[in-house]
């Protein structure tokens, strides 16, 4: 099945930080993919703006090299790539000073969609917002795109929001959480609200518990210094896992509109209970045959920062009362796995004599690897020997189900950038959502910092610390296996 490409209106996209790591690895290769698929219209332009003293040709070369390194199969079309490079322009700019702003003002057109991607440190967001206005570059229609981390606590998130809202309306601000751009994450909503099968069961009458796992095999690598100030809670839970939790738990919005969806997500965050410290397990990976310990990677021999966290969370509302949501995320784990598993209750009574196993339907939605979903159902084990029951998955890998050959799962960044151009904020976090997420997160972090909590060591390549397994075991449940 060929993917349908809906062209967007002509635009000028200015990438502040256009020479940085994120721009080179994700944004520019993603834009080239959209260009190759015919989505970028004639007349669309991409303007890099960063500190490096480059001219247009120098920037084109940098982007060419970035696509050679990080681009997909489409980069082999050299004629297409040459045309894409023609859409690029560049100006050196100083976010904190006046250099470069007049030049930028002369480049950006007023009669097309204007988007400004702040792919720079958050400490520069306020400067960029202010100068875009002072130099009369931005208009009431301009859009700005900002990256995580959006603050490191409620106070800093509020300050960041203020620095943007002093110059832009909330309807112009696109806060990226690239998890929301993933195909499967959007499928969560399609599955829940596009089928009659699931929604009647989606509550505490039928759901025993829900597990959300985001496990990585990599360590903190070159990001050690940043990560050590953040930890898994700030780096992953406050944003990505929280977003997944919202989408799985929210009430059906009246329609699939940006504010309708975000209003429902916000209600989930506001309904989150505080977490009992006994229901939080923090871990740090130890040295292993394939790598150094967390403390070595972070170059902080006394670090108490968690590279793993597992927790049991409750949502205080009618639908989910009594249903635990177990969240876990970590680095240097057994496999690179992201999934959400909805574990349904077992039958109260079995009519099959001798069948003592607790059969459970489990709907699992995989973000990686092999984006897709499967539903564990109970059937009769084939062959003679009476009614022996066995649990098997009804498996659907999207790439197979949708026709492998020409269906490419669009990368989250490119999808989100095109949504910015279309003016669709549904998959972006609203300011109040981010603040509510920090309001829930702050007391948990303050709690363990106040207790001088020491993270438990876990073996690199494992499923995390033993205590995390116990979090479920003591309630007669178990984590889904990380298939390594």
Residue numbers at the binding site for ligand NAD (CB under 6 A): 16-23, 50-52, 93-96, 119-122, 124, 147-149
User: Considering 240, 278, 279, 349, which one is annotated as catalytic?
Assistant: 240
Give the shortest CB-428-to-ligand NAD separation in angstroms: 14
| 181 phi-psi bin (left φ>0, alpha ψ -120 to 50, beta other) | alpha
* Residue 93 or 342 with smaller CB distance to ligand NAD: 93
| 447 phi-psi bin (left φ>0, alpha ψ -120 to 50, beta other) | alpha
Angle at 224 between CA 119 and CA 448, to 5 degrees: 105
CA distance 247 to 469: 25
Give the shortest CB-133-to-ligand NAD separation in angstroms: 17
* Residue 116 or 458 with smaller CB distance to ligand NAD: 116
CA distance 147 to 226: 15
* Residue 226 or 318 with smaller CB distance to ligand NAD: 226
CA dist 251 → 265, 312, 356, 424, 438 (Å)? 8, 21, 35, 21, 21
CA dist 265 → 179, 234, 240, 416 (Å)? 15, 19, 13, 18
- Is 240 a catalytic site residue? yes
Give the shortest CB-49-to-ligand NAD separation in angstroms: 7
* Residue 21 or 77 with smaller CB distance to ligand NAD: 21
* Residue 50 or 313 with smaller CB distance to ligand NAD: 50
Give the shortest CB-50-to-ligand NAD separation in angstroms: 3
Strand partners, 214: 329, 338
Residue 233 burial (CB count, 10 A): 20
Give the shortest CB-59-to-ligand NAD separation in angstroms: 11
Give the shortest CB-411-to-ligand NAD separation in angstroms: 13
Give the shortest CB-153-to-ligand NAD separation in angstroms: 16
Burial 11-42 (b: 16+ CB within 10 A, else e): bbbbbbbbbbebbbebbbbbbbbbbbeebbee
* Residue 51 or 388 with smaller CB distance to ligand NAD: 51
Sequence-ordered list of residues with C-beta below 8 angstroms from that of 412, at least 6 positions apart, any chain: 178, 179, 180, 181, 182
Give the shortest CB-117-to-ligand NAD separation in angstroms: 9
Give the shortest CB-110-to-ligand NAD separation in angstroms: 23
Sequence-ordered list of residues with C-beta below 8 angstroms from that of 230, at least 6 positions apart, any chain: 149, 152, 305
* Residue 145 or 444 with smaller CB distance to ligand NAD: 145
Sequence-ordered list of residues with C-beta below 8 angstroms from that of 117, at least 6 positions apart, any chain: 13, 14, 15, 16, 17, 23, 27, 144, 145, 417
Q: Select the residue whose beta carbon is closest to ligand NAD and give its number.
A: 20
Full strand arrangement of the beta sheet holding 389-397: 389-397, 372-380, 362-368, 337-344, 207-215, 325-330, 308-313, 280-285, 456-458
* Residue 128 or 444 with smaller CB distance to ligand NAD: 128
How many Å is the Cα radius of gyration of the chain?
24
CA dist 382 → 162, 376, 407 (Å)? 63, 17, 35
Q: Which of 203, 213, 194, 472 is nearest to 340 (CA)?
A: 213
* Residue 150 or 448 with smaller CB distance to ligand NAD: 150
Total residues belonging to the chain: 484
Question: Mind telling me the catalytic residues?
Answer: 240
């Amino acid at each position: 099945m060929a993917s349908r490409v809906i062209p967007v209106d002509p635009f000028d996209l200015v990438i502040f930080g256009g020479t940085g790591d994120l721009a080179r690895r994700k944004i520019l290769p993603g834009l080239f993919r959209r260009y190759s698929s015919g989505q970028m219209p004639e007349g669309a332009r991409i303007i890099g703006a960063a500190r490096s003293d480059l001219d247009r040709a120098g920037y084109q070369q940098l982007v060419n090299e970035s696509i050679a390194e990080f681009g997909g199969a489409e980069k082999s079309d050299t004629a297409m790539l040459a045309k894409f490079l023609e859409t690029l322009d560049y100006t050196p700019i100083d976010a904190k000073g006046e250099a470069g702003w007049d030049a930028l003002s002369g480049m950006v057109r007023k009669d097309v969609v204007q988007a400004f991607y702040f792919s720079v440190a958050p400490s520069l967001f306020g400067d960029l917002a202010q100068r875009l206005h002072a130099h009369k570059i931005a208009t009431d229609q301009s859009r700005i795109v900002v990256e995580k981390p959006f603050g490191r606590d409620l106070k800093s998130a509020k300050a960041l929001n203020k620095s943007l809202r002093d110059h832009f309306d909330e309807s112009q601000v696109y806060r990226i959480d690239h998890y929301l751009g993933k195909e499967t994450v959007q499928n969560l909503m399609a599955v829940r609200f596009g089928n009659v099968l699931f929604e009647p069961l989606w509550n505490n009458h039928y759901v025993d518990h829900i597990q959300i796992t985001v496990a990585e095999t990599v360590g903190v690598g070159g990001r050690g210094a940043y990560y050590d100030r953040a930890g898994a809670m700030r780096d992953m839970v406050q944003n990505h896992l929280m977003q997944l939790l919202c989408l799985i738990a929210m009430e059906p919005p009246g329609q699939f509109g940006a504010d309708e969806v975000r209003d429902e997500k916000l209600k989930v965050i506001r309904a989150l209970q505080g977490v009992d410290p006994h229901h939080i397990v923090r871990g740090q990976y130890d040295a292993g045959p394939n790598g150094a310990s967390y403390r070595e990677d972070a170059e902080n021999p006394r670090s108490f920062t968690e590279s793993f966290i597992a927790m049991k969370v409750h949502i205080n509302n009618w639908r989910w009362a009594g249903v635990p949501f177990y969240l876990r995320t970590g680095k240097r784990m057994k496999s690179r796995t992201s999934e959400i598993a909805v574990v349904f209750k077992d039958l109260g009574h079995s009519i099959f004599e001798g069948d003592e196993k607790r059969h459970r339907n489990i709907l699992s939605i995989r973000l990686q690897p092999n984006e897709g979903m499967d539903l564990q159902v109970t059937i009769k084990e084939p062959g003679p020997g009476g009614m022996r029951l066995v649990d098997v998955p009804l498996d659907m890998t999207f790439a197979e189900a949708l026709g492998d050959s020409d269906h490419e799962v669009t990368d989250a960044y490119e999808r989100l950038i095109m949504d910015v151009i279309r003016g669709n904020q549904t998959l972006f976090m609203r300011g109040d959502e981010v603040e509510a997420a920090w309001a829930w997160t702050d007391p948990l972090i303050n709690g363990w910092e106040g207790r001088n909590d020491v993270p438990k060591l876990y073996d690199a390549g494992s499923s995390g610390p033993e205590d995390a397994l116990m979090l479920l075991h003591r309630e007669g449940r178990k984590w889904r296996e990380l298939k390594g």
